[in-house]
Amino acid sequence: MDLSAGFVFTCPFKTNSGNKALSHLPVELAGFNAARPLVVASAGTEGQKAVRILKSAFGDSGMTLALFDNVTQAADLGLVDHLKNLCLEKKVDAVIALGGGKAADVAKVLNLAVSLKTPDARQLLPETPIRVRLLPLVVAPAAGADGLETSRFAHLGRKVFSSESLAPVLAVLDPCLAKGKSSIGMAAAGLAALGRAVESHIQADQNPFRKAYSFAAIRFVRENLPAAVADPGNRKASLALLNAAAMSGCAFSNAAAGRLHKLGQVFYDLLGIPQGVIMAMCLPHILGDYLKEGQYDLAALFQPLAGDDAFARTPAGKRAEAACDLLNRFLKELQDALGKDLPKSLAEAGVPGYRKEEILDVLGADEEGRYLCGIVERVANGRPERKG
Amino acid sequence: MSIIKDVPSGTKPFKRAYVAIFLWFTGRAVQAAARVDREVKKEFDSLPENFTFSLGCLPSGPRMVIGKEGGRVKYLGSDPKGRRVHVRLIIKSVDAAFLLLSFQESTALSTARNRLMVDGEIPQALSIIRVLNIVEVYLLPKIIASLAVKRYPSWWSMGRKLGGRIGVYTRTLLGI
């Protein structure tokens, strides 16, 4: 590995993982001089269950939590503005993002608005300068967390906020929160983490720290996703997936946004389709193209996917192709296990033609728009990979 | 009505009561063991006069405080009563204390899992840990004590175990 070009790596958060990790949260908050945290959680039964677990973890701490447990897919900057005023009124001094997805995005942007004391949070822009230290943000991802919780990104109202300051200071990964209910939920979360970790791992610029995180994330997903899909309540496998998601978020924060991420995010923002589902559809096509382009280090994927023995047995020249085959087989096995729950094409996912056009319009504005639109066309009806 | 609700964190009375009773009994047992067991006495002899340590959980107890007065070891209850506490062994939460004191986790495992904090001199804290290990061996049957301590002292003679147990239990129950 040639490191002469230099590299930068930041992992701004501490990780508390394992049995009863949540019960340490009051002490950790005290370490940040915080005594009045705001908990941001999703609406619905999953969010309520997570709130019950968190409340129990705070038992005997003497703290009073401020709770907003109604984050929906439709959350926008208007909601953030309303919450910001209430937070300033209640003198909130820390933010806890409970669960994943939109709750984490809202928590990050809300933290920004509260810390900057922005008069109108609807005017917040990705370019808004951050000149103050933000309140401590803690993320406690639950089953279904896709890894973006620990990243420096927040997607809200078609805006993408990106700053190291937005990343959490603490990630709490507790098995009580990790256990899922549906196999497809676990698969989508694991595949989103896998997609981002794969793209971070193969990027051309050398960054050994990032590779260490993405390596572990890929291996954790490879080893634990089948077990978590077979039994979403599997404590060991689901905690391993949560760790993989957290690591993939950190690796992704230190890499350029890849094609898989862009595709997954657009479908999630516009149609609410989980990013992992779209990534699983697109991954074979994109990896096939990467293999042909030859700019990416696909051979580096072979060791975390196949294990050390297989890596040692395989000649260096064949590792890239073997890694692609292995990943395709892995996805095929998951698709076979989940049947129609994990669609192989947009048609199977029930995306109507007019929504596809909307997606293409948004993707067209990207610098790689033409290529991304081509991928969408390829996965629209599940056509096989382009030859030649 | 505000969309942000205030949620009090609640209490854990069962776990708190269990931890409080356990610490009360262990505190008295440490006092007893210092009079019965030569090794415990030696550990306390190596500590300075008026040395005081506490073992408890955040944020507000329960805890036990043990001090050395005139060469004798004394269980001081849950309040240091204005005495300077030289070593504080702190368990981060009642949940963590329950795991440790119900022997679901050994002291070594709890430390490895980042559930314990020490405020004070490390050599003195290690002396206290050694004392607590010996006391646990006296108080608990082998099958449970093996879970609580890192290495069960199978090299102890039967006389030491039996005699010590009788002495520690009698003095603990009588508070002498």
> Looking at per-residue confidence, does B71 or A371 come out higher?
A371
pLDDT attached to residue A207: 87
Distance CA A196, CA A245 (A): 9
For residue A149, the domain's CATH number is: 3.40.50.1970
For residue A386, give the DSSP letter. Answer: P
Least-confidence region, from A209-213, A220-224, B77-81: B77-81
**Together in a domain, A169 and A195:** no
Answer for the pair A107, A97: CB distance below 8 angstroms, yes or no: yes
Residue A5 pLDDT exceeds 80: no
* A65 shares a domain with A205: no
How many distinct structural domains can be found in chain A? Answer: 2
pLDDT at A388 over 70: no
Cα–Cα distance between A362 and A358 in angstroms, integer?
Answer: 7
User: What is the pLDDT averaged over residues A15-32?
Assistant: 90
pLDDT per residue as tens digits for the range A172-206: 999 998 888 888 989 999 999 999 999 999 987 87
CATH code where residue B154 lies: 3.30.1050.10
Answer yes or no: are the C-beta atoms of B125 and B89 closer than 8 Å: yes
What letter represents residue A283's amino acid?
Answer: L
Contact, A71 vs A114, CB < 8 A? no
Q: What is the pLDDT of residue A245?
A: 94
In a domain, A9, yes or no: no
pLDDT in tens, A255-291: 888 888 999 988 988 888 889 999 999 999 999 988 8
- Contact assignment for A60 to B6 by CB distance below 8 Å: no
Question: pLDDT value at position A367?
Answer: 86
Query: Cα separation of B35 and B65, whole Å?
Result: 17
pLDDT tens by residue, A75-129: 888 889 889 988 888 899 999 999 878 899 999 999 999 998 888 888 888 888 8
- Domain that residue A67 falls in: 14-178
Question: How many domains does chain B fold into?
Answer: 1
Residue A313 lies in a domain: yes
Does residue A111 sit in the same domain as residue A207?
Answer: no
**Chain B positions in Cβ-Cβ contact with residue A60 (cut-off 8 Å):** 9-12, 15-16, 59-60, 93-94
Contacts of B91 in chain A (CB under 8 A): none
Same-domain check for residues A267 and A363: yes
pLDDT at site B1:
62
Q: Point out the domain boundary residue: A178, A206, A221.
A: A178
Q: What span, in angstroms and rounded, lies between the C-alpha atoms of B87 and B56?
A: 11
Position A385 pLDDT exceeds 70 = no
Over residues A343-353, the pLDDT tens digits come to 888 888 888 88
How many residues are there in chain A? Answer: 388
Per-position b or e across B49-58, b if 16+ CB within 10 A of its CB: eebbbbbbbb
Give me the pLDDT at residue A382, please: 65
* Same-domain check for residues A331 and A360: yes
pLDDT band at B10 (very low <50, low <70, confident <90, very high): confident
Strand order in the sheet with A170-173: A14-17, A170-173, A137-140, A94-98, A37-42, A64-71, B5-8
| Beta-carbon separation of A68 and B99 below 8 A | no
| Residue-number span of the structural domain to which B69 is assigned | 13-174
B35 occurs within a structural domain = yes
B11 touches chain A (CB under 8 A): yes
**Same domain, yes or no: A50 and A162:** yes
The model's pTM: 0.87
A41 or B148, greater pLDDT: A41
* For residue A383, pLDDT beyond 80: no
How many Cα neighbours within 13 Å face the side chain of B44? 29
Sign of CA dihedral B53, B58, B59, B64: negative
B109: Cα within 13 Å, side-chain hemisphere: 17
A-facing residues of B in 92-131 (CB < 8 A) are 92-96, 99, 113-115
Percent of chain A with pLDDT over 70: 98
Q: Which residues of A fall below an 8 Å CB-CB distance to B?
A: 16, 18-20, 23-24, 26-27, 30, 38-39, 51, 55-70, 82-83, 86-87, 90
With beta carbons under 8 A apart, name residues in chain B contacting A53: none
Query: What is the value of ipTM here, to two decimals?
Result: 0.79
pLDDT of A201: 92
Q: Is B1 on the interface with A (CB under 8 A)?
A: no
Has residue A314 got a pLDDT over 80? yes
Instruction: Determine whether the interchain pair B7/A19 forms a contact, defined as Cβ–Cβ distance below 8 Å.
Output: no
Q: Under an 8 A CB cutoff, do A66 and B7 touch? A: yes
- The strand pairing partners of A137, in sequence order, are A95
Query: Is the domain of A169 the same as that of A48?
Result: yes
What are the tokens at A143? 């089953």
A40 plus A171 within the same structural domain: yes
B2: in domain: no
Query: In this structure, are A137 and A277 located in the same domain?
Result: no
Give the integer Cα–Cα distance in Å for A201 and A260.
13
- Retrieve residue A366's tokens: 């990207």
Does the distance separating the beta carbons of B59 and A26 come in below 8 Å? yes
